[in-house]
Each structure stands twice: as structure tokens, then as C-alpha cells.
Amino acid sequence: MLFAGCGIPAGCTVDAGVFRYIARDTISATQVDVDIYAEDSLTPSAVTGHADGDGKTLTTAKVDWDNIPAETAGNTIDSPEIKTIIQELVDSGLDDGDDVQILVHTTSTDTATRVPSSYDHATNDPPELRTTYTPASTDPEASLIGGKLVGGGVLLGRRLVG
């Protein structure tokens, strides 16, 4: 999931972070295990296929997301906390105009999957990257910041605390 113009300022401390998506399909498989990473790049490009996604350079930080329950199409799903992954990008020089690519790699031994709706889904909202952070310096003008998901979706929930 490529999030354009993340709105996360350089040098900040990431206090919280999740990605939220709407399930595209109803999937009854009861156990899916995945590892969540970000692409370790300040200029990530959209994944064009499985091989491309598998070939991306990953952050050292990762989050295990195990035993993901069955999903029903249209339900909203939040990832576990991913602030360590976002903080690694910030520590590598991420700034508010940079893009963030979240990559999810299946670790389950079966073929079960989870499929988020994409930015161009006919009825569902696009995935969102939701982060809360404290800026490196206090700014009395700090306020809610917006960004855009590639394809025109709106990123919500990022807030400067000042």
C-alpha cells in the first residue's frame, strides 16, 4: 500500500501508527499470519506484482500480525501498532512530502489471504495510514495534517501535537 505525501515531519517521534483498510472480499479462512514492513526507501514506487513486492528492500523493523480472523466484505480492519516501522523511516530521513509504502508478507503455511480494497474500488474507501506524532520542536501552529493516498484517497488521523 503506497501512501503519497505522508505528512509526517522530519525528526518527529511517532507516538502511534496503524493502517486501516476495508475488506474487499468475504474470506472464511480462520488463520492468516503476516509480517508488516515498510519499503526502506524515501522514494518508494508502487508494487507492480508479486515478484516486485518480494524484491523491495524492507525496513529492519517489522510487526507480526498473527491469527488474523476471517473477514467480511465491507468490514473495516485496523492493523496492529506499526509505529516502530514508521519511526525507522523517520530516523532514516522521512519528511512530510515523502511517500510511505507498507508491505505485508504472508507467513502462513496455507494459501489463505486477506485483501484490502484499493484506492480505486467502486464503493469502499481506500486504505488509510493513521499516525500520531510529536514534532521535533514545539510549534504553536501545529494542527491536523492531511495527505493523499496514491490515486486520490485521503489520509486521515495524523496529528501534530504541539
- Report pLDDT for 120: 54
Closest CA to 118 of 150, 73, 159: 150
The single-letter code of the amino acid at 30 is T
Closest CA to 100 of 157, 15, 41: 41
- Report pLDDT for 89: 97
- Report pLDDT for 119: 55
Closest CA to 144 of 123, 128, 130: 130
What is the dihedral angle through the alpha carbons of 22, 24, 29, 33, rounded to the nearest 10 degrees? -50
- Report pLDDT for 122: 52
> 26: burial class by Cβ within 10 Å (0-12, 13-18, 19+)?
exposed
Element (H, E) at 18: strand 13-22
- Report pLDDT for 5: 87
**Domain extent for 121:** 2-160
Give the residues of the chain that fall short of pLDDT 50: 121, 140-162
Residue written as grid cell 522530519? 10
Cβ within 8 Å of residue 136, ≥6 positions away:
9, 10, 11, 12, 13
- Report pLDDT for 128: 87
User: Which grid coordinates belong to 18?
Assistant: 496503524
State how many domains the chain has: 1
